[in-house]
Amino acid sequence: MSKEFEFTDANFEAEVLKSDKPVLVDFWAPWCAPCRMVAPIVAEISSEYDGRLKVGKVNTDDNQGVASRYGIMSIPTLMIFKNGEEVARIIGAQPKQALTGKIDAAIRN
């Protein structure tokens, strides 16, 4: 079983932008009901893509710097980074198939 990382303003560059593998970042907040709906899907993806994809969360209440930097206006927002660049953005609660399709495309390219 894979581990979901906690990304923060302090570690975002090292853990996400300088990662040697693609990274799925879940921008969320504890009070956000759709975020809680997406959380189990993100956890499943973390396990299923273990070794191929780093998965983590950014609490937008506690890490407003990184959320502002990437223009997060609505949560949940899931972003996929590869080689330090954003390659996909999914806004709102989406079914697992929609997320894995974007992830698979990012990993392939």
SS3 28: strand
Please state the domain extents for the chain. Answer: 5-108
**Mind spelling out the 3-state secondary structure of 35-74?**
HHHHHHHHHHHHHHCCCCCEEEEEECCCCHHHHHHCCCCC
Distance between CA atoms of residues 91 and 83, nearest Å: 21
Q: Which CATH number fits domain 5-108: 3.40.50.300, 3.40.50.1820, 3.40.30.10, 3.10.20.30?
A: 3.40.30.10
Distance between CA atoms of residues 84 and 9, nearest Å: 15
Q: What is the pLDDT of residue 4?
A: 84
Distance between CA atoms of residues 39 and 86, nearest Å: 21
* Marked catalytic residue, from 16, 23, 24, 35: 35
Q: What is the pLDDT of residue 108?
A: 82
Asked whether 25 and 79 are in contact (CB, 8 A), the reply is: yes
* Marked catalytic residue, from 16, 25, 32, 42: 32
To the question of pTM greater than 0.75 for the whole model, the response is yes
| Catalytic (active site) residue 84 | no
| Catalytic (active site) residue 20 | no
Give 57-69 pLDDT, tens digit per residue. Answer: 999 999 999 999 9
Distance between CA atoms of residues 47 and 83, nearest Å: 21
Q: What is the pLDDT of residue 1?
A: 47
Per-residue pLDDT of the chain (109 residues; tens, 9 = 90+): 457 899 999 999 999 999 999 999 999 999 999 999 999 999 999 999 999 999 999 999 999 999 999 999 999 999 999 999 999 999 999 999 999 999 999 888 7
